[in-house]
Amino acid sequence: MQCPKCHQPLQGVDYEGVHLETCPRCGGHWLDADELGSIVKARKTITEASFVTESRQIDRTPADNA
């Protein structure tokens, strides 16, 4: 497949467990709506997991007794 913008051949890459096509020249990406939904879901899961981990670390910080 060729890039719809600059007509260069697209290269397949894996991102967040989803296979998509990317253009080495202009940096554009080609993916289906379902693939975009999968990426958004994966990123949301990672963000939520990071927030829980950071919250637990904050809870374990000793209180300042000054």
**Looking at the domain assignment, is residue 32 inside a domain?**
yes
The verdict on residue 17 lying in a domain is yes
In a domain, 18, yes or no: yes
The span from the CA of 4 to the CA of 52, in Å, is 41
Instruction: Please indicate, yes or no, if residue 66 is contained in any of the structural domains.
Output: no
For residue 2, tell me if it sits in a domain: no
Quick: pLDDT tens for 40-58.
888 777 555 555 555 455 5
Range of the domain at 18: 11-59
pLDDT at 24: 93
Residue 65 is assigned to a structural domain of this protein: no
In a domain, 1, yes or no: no
How many domains is the chain built from?
A: 1
Indicate whether 28 belongs to any domain.
yes
pLDDT, tens digit, 9 for 90 and up, residues 26-37: 999 888 878 888
State the DSSP H helix or E strand holding residue 12, giving kind and residue range, or none if neither: strand 11-15
For the segment 17-23, the average pLDDT, to the nearest whole number, is: 87
3-class secondary structure, 58: helix
